[in-house]
Amino acid sequence: MKTIQLEPKHLVIVSNILKKYGVTAHVFGSRTKNTAKIFSDLDLCLKVNYDKSTVRKLQAPRAHLSA
């Protein structure tokens, strides 16, 4: 596991939120590269379950824009 440049109390808060909603996440960005500043955000890529109809709904507006 990578080290995350985050105060322990903030890591507990984020972990509790993810657990509450049953979501797993991948952390990326400056907080994993040890280049974060005091007010840097926490970049998360959330892994969630979804079905094909959700993907179709998300793609529909994009198809409309390219026409």
Burial call 15-35: b when 16+ CB within 10 Å, e when fewer: eeeeeeeeeebebeeebbeee
pLDDT at 62: 52
Count of domains for the chain: 1
Residues 20 and 23: their CA atoms lie apart, in Å, by 8
Tens-digit pLDDT profile for residues 23-36: 889 999 999 999 99
Q: Give the per-residue pLDDT at 21.
A: 83
Identify whether 2 is part of a domain.
no
Res 26: pLDDT: 92
The residues facing 28 across adjacent strands are: 43
Q: Does some domain include residue 3?
A: no
Q: What is the pLDDT of residues 1-52, one digit of tens each?
A: 678 999 999 999 999 998 988 888 999 999 999 999 999 999 999 887 777 7
**For residue 52, is it within any domain?**
yes
Cβ(66)–Cβ(41) under 8 Å? no
Note the pTM of the prediction, 2 decimals.
Answer: 0.66
Range of the domain at 53: 8-66
